[in-house]
Amino acid sequence: LKDEIKSRLGETQDLTDLDKIRVSYLGKKGSITALLKGMKDLPNEERKTFGAEVNKLKAQAAQLIEERLAELKEKEIQREIALMPQFDITSPVALARGSYHPITLVQRECEKIFSSMGFNIEDYSEIVTDYECFEALNIPKHHPARDMQDTYYLDNGQLLKSHTSAAQNAILKKYGKGLIENGTPIKAIFPGRCFRNEATDACHENTFFQMEGVMVDKDISISNLIYFMKTMLSEVFKKDIKVRLRPGFFPFVEPGFELDISCLICGGEGCPSCKHSGWLELCPCGMIHPNVLREGGIDPEKYTGFAFGLGLTRLAMMKYGIKDIRDLNSGSLKALSQFTDDE
Ligand code: FA5
């Protein structure tokens, strides 16, 4: 019987056959089980030796089946491995690498420049309240200045941030304590996405990025503002660019300025990117209005400060020579993946 089991096992090639063999010997109606059952008919003196022999055979059969099971499983694993695709880990590959969006690149560059000058970098939400976006900035309800920005209102009365100035009040409150108690100047920048219901053209988008900056301390003046603006522009462009400062009106600064740069697409000659004026409005700025400081918990009799609202998307256009601002929101990888960091 043992030899018979061995030869039948040797012929099996799959697990179902193997199980059939197991059942035929060791199952309820299997032949070894039948031998054990038949023992009761044997005379007493034979039963003992016969029983021992059959139990030995049963154990050997079980072991042989186990061994064959392990062999067949191993065979199955080897077969699956052979079917798997083969990789040569040493062969060179050309993978398409991702790239940063040009706005991300200029934003990071500006963050680096300002943090090297001691400014904190802050983040702020894109959905804000009327108070944050207007009232805290000296723009009461029904003030005509609200028409300067065509704002998207949400059903719940909140709105999509139309300018990064919406974070000014929160920043003044956050850092005001340090200024008042320890004399630590407030120096912060806060980049963010802005939304306006605008007719789009080569230099206007309805979704664009700005980077706001504020500095408040004792005796801050327009000279400090001009110094930081000049430093930022020369670091970003790494060359001299023509700048003009002209009066500008914003209810949250007094005095207020428009800082324009000579259009780098046409060299100041006039083109669609600068609406044929040769100049691009880039970074309005000014001295923070006393009402705004007061609303932020800072005494305007003791402290003064400046604020600016840099058009980051326009800065990316000028820095990378992108003629149409709409390309930046196009999602075209072909257009957007060609720009790299200066480093
Ligand atoms: C403001 O948003 C003021 N909050 C800026 C400010 C901050 C003034 C602090 C004083 C003190 P303005 O609407 O001009 O201002 O926008 C600022 C800059 O954002 C513009 O100069 C321009 O560079 C950019 N910008 C504005 N609208 C758009 C637009 N539709 N598409 C692309 N860039 C825009």
Q: State pLDDT tens for residues 242-286.
A: 999 999 999 999 999 999 999 999 999 999 999 999 999 999 999
Helix, strand or coil for residue 142?
coil
pLDDT for 342:
60
pLDDT given at position 133: 96
Pocket of ligand 1 (CB under 6 A): 163, 165, 196, 198, 204-205, 208, 210, 212, 250, 253, 256, 281-282, 284-286, 307-309, 311, 313-314, 325
Q: Where are the beta strands (DSSP E) in the chain?
A: 120-121, 127-128, 159-160, 186-195, 207-217, 243-247, 253-262, 279-281, 285-288, 304-311
Say how many Å lie between the CA of residue 49 and the centre of ligand 1.
Answer: 103
The residues with which 261 forms a beta bridge, in sequence order, are 243, 280
Question: With contact defined as beta carbons under 8 Å apart, do 118 and 224 qualify?
Answer: no
**Is 254 flagged in the annotation as binding?**
yes
Give me the residues of the chain with pLDDT under 50, please: none
Q: What pLDDT shows up at residue 297? A: 97
Residue nearest to atom 30 of ligand 1 (CA): 204
Residue 275: exposure state from Cβ atoms within 10 A (0-12, 13-18, ≥19)? middle
Whether 232 and 259 have beta carbons less than 8 Å apart is answered as: no
Q: What span, in angstroms and rounded, lies between the C-alpha atoms of 101 and 184? A: 35
Residue nearest to atom 27 of ligand 1 (CA): 204
**Given this model, what pLDDT does residue 343 score?**
54
Q: What is the ipTM of this complex?
A: 0.99
Structural contact between residues 146 and 139, judged by C-beta atoms closer than 8 angstroms: yes
How far, in Å, is the centroid of ligand 1 from the Cα of 298? Answer: 25
Cα 162 to middle of ligand 1, angstroms = 9
Token pair of 66, please? Answer: 């186990």
- For residue 148, the model assigns a pLDDT of 79
